[in-house]
Structure 1
Amino acid sequence: MAAEQIDRARWSTFLDALTRTLVGKQAEIEVAGLDLGDQIEAEWAPLIGITYDEKDDLIEIALDELDHLIRSPRAVFVDEGVGGIVAIAIDDGDGRHHIVKLKDPLALPAPETSAPQTAAR
């Protein structure tokens, strides 16, 4: 599916609503730019939230292990797959492309419980 660009006037409310939907998903952050190539900033950490601060013109992506700040964002895109949003892409004023890939955390199987044993008589 093609990525949908989010109108700048909606960034704050959209990202707040998105956070409520995506909190707890695993996120990987990749940053790409001519000056640094492709870099993985964070590898599959729990997502805490994504917010846009209009006053400081800043998008913050909070993960369990770090806060990733994007100053002077220029465009926000959302990529949806069959199961919902799979990635968020943000272009900044320095020409860098920030990609937040999302996936559900792996669920561990339930521990096996054995039936109570009765003593044979």
Structure 2
Amino acid sequence: MATIKLDKAAWQTYFDRISKLVVGKQTEIEVASLSLGDQIEAEWVPLLGITYDPKNDLLEVLLEGLDHLIRHPRDIYVDQGPAGLTSMEVIDADDVQQIIRLRDPVMLPYSPPP
């Protein structure tokens, strides 16, 4: 896997492109800071999309049942493997670290009805 830091000028284009490829992936969001400690905000919930709005300087991670907003992201690192995006680390203006992990949904074997 290769972790790269995204240039802020490329955030909107990157997330517009990648969002379509990661829809439906299971997603975990971990938030860590000195004041909060380490907390899991979402645990393996289906991802509906990721967007960056440069006008409001807002990264939105839309999950089933949760709209996770990161205001004023300062740095974004993405980890990409052979299967595409596997995780992201976002550090906001308050030095809060937010780690978004992605994985494919577990496929259960098909059993035909009796």
TM range (shorter): over 0.9
* 1:6 equivalent in structure 2: 6
Deviation by residue 1:74-114 (Cα, 9 ceiling, x = unmatched): 01111123432210111100001111000000112111367
How does 1:1-121 map onto structure 2 within 5 Å? Answer: 1-112=1-112
**5+ long unaligned stretches in structure 1:** 115-121
Please give the secondary structure, in 1, of the residue aligned with 2:55: coil
Contact 2:79/2:87 (CA < 8 Å) preserved in 1? Answer: yes
Deviation by residue 1:35-74 (Cα, 9 ceiling, x = unmatched): 1011101010000111111111110100001000101100
Contact 2:30/2:100 (CA < 8 Å) preserved in 1? Answer: yes
Deviation by residue 1:4-59 (Cα, 9 ceiling, x = unmatched): 00110010010111101100000000011111011101010000111111111110
Tell me which protein shows more strand as a share of its residues: 2
**5+ long unaligned stretches in structure 2:** none
Aligned residues: 114
Matched residues, percent identical? 51
- What TM-score, normalized by structure 2, do the two folds share? 0.94
Contact 2:88/2:99 (CA < 8 Å) preserved in 1? Answer: yes
Contact 2:2/2:81 (CA < 8 Å) preserved in 1? Answer: no
Runs of 4+ with >4 A deviation: none
